């Protein structure tokens, strides 16, 4: 699909057709990346998604033991 850049203040932008927005699953906030000379737009990732599942997997693998936390705190030199 060929589209034109349009002036937006001192910048330029692209108008995306509604069908493209829906097909790509875009919302009000998007991730923009430039890779290999290409501009890539993708739906913004919500912060902390899947944390519950990651915590559960950590617990099931017995990797959530914080018993050595005090030892780690004692390794710090300086003041809080």
- If one counts the domains in the chain, the total is 1
CA dihedral (32, 38, 42, 45) in degrees, to 10, reads -50
pLDDT > 90 fraction of the chain, expressed in percent and rounded: 52
Identify whether 76 is part of a domain. no
Q: Is residue 8 part of a domain?
A: yes
**pLDDT, tens digit, for every residue of 41-80?**
999 887 777 888 888 998 899 888 777 776 676 676 777 6
Is 77 part of any domain?
no
pTM over 0.75: no
Which residues lie below 8 Å from residue 9, measured CB to CB, with a gap of 6+? none
Domain presence at residue 24: yes
**Domain range for residue 4?**
1-70
pLDDT in tens, 9-31: 999 999 999 999 999 999 999 99
Predicted pLDDT at 80: 64
CATH number of 15's domain: 2.10.260.10
Residue 66 lies in a domain: yes
Task: Indicate whether 78 belongs to any domain.
Answer: no
């Amino acid at each position: 699909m060929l589209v034109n850049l349009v002036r937006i203040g001192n910048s330029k932008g692209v108008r995306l057709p509604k069908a493209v927005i829906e097909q790509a699953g875009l919302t009000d906030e998007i991730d923009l990346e430039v890779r290999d000379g290409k501009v890539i737009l993708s739906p913004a990732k919500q912060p902390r998604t899947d944390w519950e599942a990651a915590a559960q997997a950590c617990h099931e693998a017995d990797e959530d033991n914080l018993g050595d936390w005090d030892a780690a705190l004692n390794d710090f030199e300086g003041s809080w």
